[in-house]
Amino acid sequence: MSAENPAEDRTGTAGGDPAGIRPGKALVFPGMSASPFTEVGKFMLVDPVARELADRAGEVLGYHLVDRFRDEEGAGDYSEAAQVAFLVNCLASARWAADNLGFTPDVCTGPSFGEKALAAHTGALSFEDAVRMTAGGARCMEDYFRTAHQDVVTHSFLRTPAERLAELFAEFESRGEFHEVSCHVDHDFHMVSMNESSLEWFLPALRAGGGMSLYTMRPPVHCTAFGPLRARVEEEVFAGLTFHDPRLPVVADQDGSVLITAEGVRTMLLDSFVTPMNWPSVVASLKGLGVRTVCVAGPDALFGRVPVTRDAFEVVPASPAVAMRPRSRPRRTAAGAGPARRA
């Protein structure tokens, strides 16, 4: 494979098994959901890997991550500290699964925010660079949405199959209103970006067709209109990062393609700003690669639970809550970091 051939970088080798993946297991890093300190703080303070990674993250950030995360609770689910804490908890959960469950994956994927943990776990980025990417991206997003697209939100809903979604989109078209799918979570579960004012007619129409409204996200995510944000993050954040070929094949969350090069992972991360996430495509790709068991590493309220995942795989949860259940565990340190550092 070569960086000179972007198509080859993104899809792996042509024909047959795309990257020499043997049937077996996949590690999934979940998209970010609300994960307050009250739910994960004990894990970050007690688990030796989580504690060490939090300390290392603090050295990059210039502040104590756990303290900032705790102090900012209630200030927003997607603050800079909350995002870096989620990264730390996902990576520590993956290490817990390896040490306590013997889970050794053959391939790795990460929908939406999970791409960031994926990049660090596979070695496509060093942990320190993954922290820089996460924090820098969070700062860019906060500044960008302070003035841009202030009227746009991303709304999630389920019990809405493709046929009904097409009808709703036809209504958007007839009204001349902006709309775009940001996430395909399951065959009847979607997240759509729209003007906030559209919710006034959209929610009653959704319920009238049997759909179930869940929640509205601000800022919005994964939308073609955010090209300027993608360009800004590439220039201000990614320019200072060093990417490597991943140690494990990576399944891209946008289309299920298999990535085996540094450039492929880098492009996936940047495209996340402007390209919808498509989880059913990832599931189909994993099944095609022979994966039968997935371990979801990190706080997960969605991807390990939706039917498209559970119908396809045996799902092994490895969240901070699972890790904190009483059990005998050996003392661990972060990979390549030596003995755990003192706080």
CATH superfamily assigned to domain 6-11+21-146+224-323: Malonyl-Coenzyme A Acyl Carrier Protein, domain 2 (3.40.366.10)
State the pTM of this model: 0.88
* 87-106 per-position pLDDT tens digit: 999 999 999 999 999 999 99
For the domain bounded by 152-217, which CATH number is listed? 3.30.70.250
Give me the residues paired with residue 212 across strands: 158
Q: Where in the chain is the domain with CATH 3.40.366.10?
A: 6-11+21-146+224-323
* 18-45 per-position pLDDT tens digit: 444 455 999 999 999 888 898 999 999 9
Neighbour-count burial of 319, counting CB atoms closer than 10 A to its CB (0-12 exposed, 13-18 middle, 19+ buried): buried
Is the Cα torsion angle 274, 108, 246, 125 positive or negative in sign? Answer: positive
Q: Where in the chain is the domain with CATH 3.30.70.250?
A: 152-217
* 113-149 per-position pLDDT tens digit: 999 999 999 999 999 999 999 999 999 999 999 999 9
**What is the widest separation between alpha-carbon atoms in the chain?**
62
* 278-298 per-position pLDDT tens digit: 999 999 999 999 999 999 999
Q: How confident is the model at residue 331 (pLDDT cuts 50, 70, 90)?
A: low
